[in-house]
Amino acid sequence: MEQAEIALYTDPKLSSALASRAIALCPEKKPDRSRAEAILLYCRAEQLLGHFDLSIQNLHNVQSYIAPSEKKLNAHRLSLMGRVYGKLGDYNKAIELNDEAISYFKATGDSAALAECYNERGVTHHFMNEFQVAERFFLQALDINRSQRNLQGIAANLNNLCLYKGDTEDKLRFIQEAITINKNLNAKWSLGENYNNMGKQLYYGGSYQQALDALKTAYDYATEIGARELICDNYEYSARVYASIGDYAKAYTNLQQMYALNKELQSSNRLRNIEQEIAYKQYQEQKYAAEQQKQAYKIELLNRNLWILAILFVLGLACSFYVYKLSKRRKDLELVEARYQLQCSERELDELKLHQQQLELQNVQSALENSRQEATTFAVFLQSRNELLDKIREMIKEGYKMDAANLIPHLKRVNAYISQYQSGDNANNTLLQNIEEKNQAFVQRLTGQHPDLTQGEIHLATLLRVNLSTKEIAMITGTTPKTINMNRYRLRKALALEGEEDLVEYLTRF
């Protein structure tokens, strides 16, 4: 495509062939930008060669390869179609298509494409003999191209300013500038057009021989590249010059050749056939599109029904799942309620057990307190016994000093005194027996863990467990507190207690 673009004005036949190869290499999918660009390039080459019917047919066909979003590409297509219809004499359609392209390029700010549209619009007004309007468009295009330094566009605008009569000297200068540019660009088609217009302006200026020389050069360029439109123009301008110099035979010959070639170029029947073919093709495409739309509607309807069924199925599943979850939730709630009731029952049972344990503990504490009180009472009785014994000892000592007559009454008094406290001894024995019975389980546990304890150590442990003090134990056992402290020390060693451990607290654990 790059090579075809370069060869477009140098060798339109080569450009057309390269564009055809590019089209063959592009995918035939629709739409496809690369294929559309290749077809548009092919149409430009065929226009330069004068194959207007082939160009207009491809310009209609290329529309299916241009995506709706490719507005710029479609604007170039409209511009090319306007050029072809202008050359074929359908000026209204040419202006309509050109206006659409100009509107787009103005909106997008594409100055180069806008200048090209102005140039083609001027050519159309030239064909309509509206030379002032045509010149205004040419000058607008020239200003844009000069500002952008578009040499090819400048040369085309200068050339078109020389299409009509007037200001011959200025127009010849324009032509010379265009020829200089096109020679540097090696644009043979443009050079052929330039020399044709030079011959025309020289004819207007009365320089007939120079006009013929220029037309001869134009003919050589046109025939070399096969530009039939340029050859047709060359015949027309040559006939005018020959008629002006009186060589009517050559003028007539050139006119005949011009008419024959012009008839071939602008065959209205061929154009109508092409348009009919295009219209029929569009009708077939529309018919196919309608059938496709109908099929698409059926498929859409089927898809919609499938979607409805799917939605209903999903809703049914959702409802079933909801019912299942609701039922499961209800069962879970019932299970939670049952668990809650069970926990409440267990908590009540635990509270009852705790209350029972508290009662048992209170009973144990009461029993311990009773035991302590009994032990204390027993100690008091022992103290009383000791005091009794001391009293009896004193009374006996007094008897040693008495005579026989006083001794017998004195002994009776001692006997009576002993009988008075005899009941106290029985209570004391009962108290000691009660302490031993209540601590029988403790003794078993203690001896089970410490089997090497002596009977005295067991007896001391029993008295310590009921929380009796050292002094109280001494009173009960009839020993001194010092002796009890020594026995306590020996008991700690027997129990293997550390120095910081409390003996009484240890014993109460059993």
Question: What pLDDT, in 10s, does the model give residues 4-39?
Answer: 999 988 889 999 999 999 999 988 888 889 999 999
Q: Distance (Å, rounded) from C-alpha 300 to C-alpha 494?
A: 101
Give the per-residue SS3 of 93-129. Answer: HHHHHHHHHHHHHHHHCCHHHHHHHHHHHHHHHHHCC
Q: What is the mean pLDDT of residues 91-97?
A: 91
Name every residue whose Cβ is closer than 8 Å to that of residue 490 and which is 6 or more positions away in sequence.
457
| Structural domains of the chain in order of their starting residue, each with its CATH number | 2-187+267-280 (1.25.40.10), 392-507 (1.10.10.10)
Q: Distance (Å, rounded) from C-alpha 251 to C-alpha 215?
A: 13
pLDDT > 90? residue 240: yes
Q: Distance (Å, rounded) from C-alpha 295 to C-alpha 382?
A: 124
Top-confidence range, 78-82, 85-89, 286-290: 78-82
CB 483 within 8 A of CB 387: no
Name every residue whose Cβ is closer than 8 Å to that of residue 415 and which is 6 or more positions away in sequence.
none
180 phi, psi to nearest 5 deg: -60, -45
Q: What is the mean pLDDT of residues 428-443?
A: 65
Q: Is the dihedral of CA 50, 54, 58, 60 positive or negative?
A: positive
Q: What is the pLDDT of residue 478?
A: 64
Helices (H) and strands (E) in the chain, counts: 22, 0
Distances (CA, A) of 177 to 126, 405, 428: 21, 189, 155
Q: What is the pLDDT of residue 135?
A: 92
Categorize the per-residue pLDDT at 509 as very low, low, confident or very high, splitting at 50, 70 and 90. Answer: confident
Mean predicted lDDT score pLDDT of the chain:
84
Q: Report the Cα 94 to chain-centroid distance in Å.
A: 51
Q: The pTM is what?
A: 0.53
Name every residue whose Cβ is closer than 8 Å to that of residue 194 and which is 6 or more positions away in sequence.
155, 159, 175, 178, 179, 182, 218
pLDDT > 60? residue 274: no
Q: What is the pLDDT of residues 360-395, one digit of tens each?
A: 888 777 766 766 666 666 666 666 666 767 777 788
Q: What is the mean pLDDT of residues 204-227?
A: 93
Q: What is the pLDDT of residues 412-421, one digit of tens each?
A: 777 776 666 5
* Higher-confidence position of 219 and 84: 219
pLDDT > 60? residue 268: no
Q: What is the pLDDT of residues 113-164, one digit of tens each?
A: 999 999 999 999 998 999 999 999 999 999 999 999 999 999 999 999 998 8
- Determine which helix (DSSP H) or strand (DSSP E) holds 357, and give its type and residue range: helix 268-401
Q: Distance (Å, rounded) from C-alpha 316 to C-alpha 334?
A: 27
Q: What is the pLDDT of residue 269?
A: 43
The tokens for 441 are 């389980």
